[in-house]
Amino acid sequence: MQYTQLGRTGLLVSRFCLGTMNFGVDTDESDALAIMDRALELGINFFDTADVYGNPLGKGLTEELVGRWLAQGGGRREQIVLATKLFGPMGDLPHRRGLSALHIRRACDASLRRLRTDTIDLYQMHHIDRGMPGPTQPTLFDIPYMDQIITPTHNPTWEEIWQAMEQLVTAGKVVYVGSSNFAAWNIAQANSVAAARNSLGLVSEQSKYNLATRAVELEVVPACRALGLGLVPYSPMDGGLLAGSLEKAGGGRRAKLPPHLVDPRRANLEAYEAFCRQIGRKPAEVALAWLVANPAVTAPIVGPRTMEHLDASMSALEIELSQEELSRLDEIWPGPGDIWPGPGSQAPDAYAW
């Protein structure tokens, strides 16, 4: 296993992060426990979960499963960097969601109970609150609650959020704070406020990022590099699209994924899978190797449903794509900077002189 620093911190994490979203839903508990043990054997020390994981069986279910694995002892807790997330609704009550100071505090305590631990190593905001920063930019939206509609007029400010997070850090309940699904300006704003408060600020960002979904290259990736955030891509296979979806379905004649997902990209997929055959690698391996080759990426999240999926992912670390091969992948899956006529790959060069 290879290791790297998480953003600008001194924390060393494995180049793959074990995602647990399937645990307890698509993967039963006994298999999930075995996969986590196997991840440790393979040297993966970075585990990611979220308080909302477990639907439709029940929110919190996945954290509870991870907690039962940690409770087995044997140094499991000490061997991993444990990351979880908050933001989504955790009940019908209107205050059990979002990024208010109250919800941040209560959500953290609830996650700690489910995970059976005293500390969350990386506490991530699962989404930005729409309309941030708050009172100066009020946003109206409706939250159904029982038989009435509650219409908030303000969203939490970064001062409120950072005060809550700082209290968790001071109490020893959280070590680092990260984000997920943030825009570049959200990241910049959050960390400018944190700097004014002499806080460390965000150290990582989880974004959907893969060969077929590259919008974050315009601004999020440059922001992470400039501000020292580790980029932790989720959905590295784009929901299975990049895992040999045509080959698995019979040489490109039909795909297992829904046609509306495959057909618009069939030409890209045919070229991609032909390229993978040419270099003697599986499409899933190449998709992961492409992410690992990006210097901005800390650790792609691999979310195995089976032990075989986890073991198969490891071979991607053995692949060193040449510059010629990387250029060919850019031709097959153009990034935003390759689509517009600008002189660069990130904003504003991607679309301006």
Q: Which residues are catalytic?
A: 53
- 221 with 346: CB under 8 angstroms? yes
- 98 with 156: CB under 8 angstroms? yes
- 181 with 154: CB under 8 angstroms? no
Q: In what order do the strands lie in the sheet with 301-302?
A: 230-234, 202-208, 174-180, 120-125, 81-86, 46-48, 17-19, 301-302
- 245 with 256: CB under 8 angstroms? yes
Q: How far apart are the first and last CA of the chain?
A: 42
**Which residue do the tokens 């850090």 mark?**
169
Which tokens is 227 given?
């501000």
Who's near 80: CB < 8 A, 6+ residues apart? 40, 45, 46, 47
